[in-house]
Amino acid sequence: DAGVTQSPTHLIKTRGQHVTLRCSPISGHKSVSWYQQVLGQGPQFIFQYYEKEERGRGNFPDRFSARQFPNYSSELNVNALLLGDSALYLCASSGVSGTGELFFGEGSRLTVL
């Protein structure tokens, strides 16, 4: 069975640009979460979506937005990129919302120049 898949795996952007990251959850999972992992730190929670509704948002500016589609895949959008947005963006899915057992993808490595 396919795990959580993310695309693209690597990308380079310049300051001020916009980026869209994509995630497909494990088949049957209805919840998708996004985390940001800056080099040398633990992942930080950005968003969780369950059944296409936003359940929670971490301490990130409004430049960060996300959505979940009817097939439960998800997009993370970041506008007006800053150098500090350079990070590994991890998507995770879970079958039952609230248990905290997340299955992570390999991540999208974003470099902002």
Partner 1 sequence: AQSVTQPDIHITVSEGASLELRCNYSYGATPYLFWYVQSPGQGLQLLLKYFSGDTLVQGIKGFEAEFKRSQSSFNLRKPSVHWSDAAEYFCAGTNDYKLSFGAGTTVTVRA
Nearest distance in Å: CB 28, partner 1: 17
For partner 1, the binding residues in 57-76 under the rule CB under 8 A are 58
CB of 47 to partner 1, least distance (A): 9
Cβ distance to partner 1 smaller for residue 16 or 54: 54
Question: According to CB under 8 A, which one of 50, 74, 87, 112 is a site residue for partner 1?
Answer: 50
Instruction: Say if residues 77 and 18 touch (Cβ distance below 8 Å).
Output: yes
| 55 lies in the site for partner 1, by CB under 8 A | yes
Of the listed pieces 16-24, 53-61, 62-70, 73-81, which binds partner 1 according to CB under 8 A? 53-61
Min separation Cβ 75 and partner 1, Å: 18
Rule CB under 8 A: say whether 89 interacts with partner 1: no
- 21 Cβ contact partners less than 8 Å away, ≥ 6 residues apart: 6, 7, 8, 75, 76, 77, 78, 89, 91, 108, 110
Q: Which is nearer to partner 1, 38 or 83 (CB)?
A: 38
